[in-house]
Amino acid sequence: MKDFFTRNEEGGARTLNQEILGLFREKRGEIVSGEELSGVMQVSRTAVWKHINALRGIGYRIEAIPSRGYRLLAAPDLLLPEEIAVGLQSVRIGRRLICFRETVSTNEVAFRLAEEGAEDGTVVIAEGQRRGKGRLGRQWESPSGVNLYCSVILRPPILPTRAAQLTFLSAVAVARAITATTTLRPFIKWPNDLLVNGGKVAGLLNEMSAETEKVNFIILGIGVNINMVREQFPDGLRHPATSLLLEGGKAVSRLEFARALLVALDDLYDSYLVNGYGPVREEWLCRCNVLDREVRVTFQESELRGRAKGIDEEGGLLVQLADGRIERVLAGDVTII
* Beta bridge mates, 328: 318
Site stretch for ligand BT5 (CB under 6 A), options 40-48, 126-134, 302-310, 322-330: 126-134
Of the candidate residues 192, 206, 227, 289, the single one contacting ligand BT5 (CB under 6 A): 192
Number of residues that bind ligand BT5 (CB under 6 A): 27
- DSSP assignment of 234-249: PS--SS-B--HHHHHS
Report if residue 223 touches ligand BT5, rule: CB under 6 A: yes
Closest CA to 114 of 84, 144, 156, 161: 156
Report if residue 289 touches ligand BT5, rule: CB under 6 A: no
Closest CA to 291 of 179, 202, 188: 188
Shortest distance, CB of residue 234 to ligand BT5, whole angstroms? 8
Of the candidate residues 132, 186, 315, 332, the single one contacting ligand BT5 (CB under 6 A): 132
Site stretch for ligand BT5 (CB under 6 A), options 76-84, 90-98, 148-156, 180-188: 148-156
**Would residue 35 be called left, alpha or beta, if left means φ above 0 and alpha means ψ between -120 and 50 degrees?**
alpha
Report if residue 186 touches ligand BT5, rule: CB under 6 A: no
Contact 255/214 with Cβ under 8 angstroms? Answer: no
Restricted to residues 198-217, the positions that interact with ligand BT5 (CB under 6 A) are: 200, 203-205
Whole-number Å distance between alpha carbons of 104 and 187: 29
Report if residue 101 touches ligand BT5, rule: CB under 6 A: no
Closest to ligand BT5 by CB, 198 or 278: 198
Of the candidate residues 24, 60, 70, 140, the single one contacting ligand BT5 (CB under 6 A): 140
Report if residue 138 touches ligand BT5, rule: CB under 6 A: yes
Integer angstrom CA distances of residue 19 from 51, 158, 207, 281, 298 = 11, 38, 35, 41, 54
Angle at 184 between CA 179 and CA 186, to 5 degrees: 70
Report if residue 254 touches ligand BT5, rule: CB under 6 A: no
**Buried/exposed code over 280-313 (b: 16+ C-beta within 10 A; e: otherwise):** bbebbbebbbbeeeebebeeeeeebebbbbbbbe
Closest to ligand BT5 by CB, 17 or 142: 142
The alpha carbon of 246 is separated from its chain's Cα centroid by a whole number of angstroms, namely 20
Angle at 40 between CA 35 and CA 45, to 5 degrees: 40
Shortest distance, CB of residue 331 to ligand BT5, whole angstroms? 11
Report if residue 130 touches ligand BT5, rule: CB under 6 A: no
Amino acid identity at 201: V
Amino acid identity at 34: G
Shortest distance, CB of residue 150 to ligand BT5, whole angstroms? 6
Site stretch for ligand BT5 (CB under 6 A), options 13-21, 52-60, 87-95, 221-229: 221-229
Report if residue 107 touches ligand BT5, rule: CB under 6 A: yes
Convert residues 17-46 into a mask of x (bound to ligand BT5 by CB under 6 A) and - (unbound). ------------------------------
Closest residue to ligand BT5, based on beta-carbon distance: 203
Q: Which residues contact 307 (CB under 8 A, 6 or more apart)?
A: 292, 293, 294, 295, 319, 320
Report if residue 238 touches ligand BT5, rule: CB under 6 A: yes
Report if residue 237 touches ligand BT5, rule: CB under 6 A: yes
- Residue ranges binding ligand BT5 (CB under 6 A): 105-107, 129, 132-136, 138, 140-141, 149-151, 192, 200, 203-205, 221-223, 225, 237-238, 241
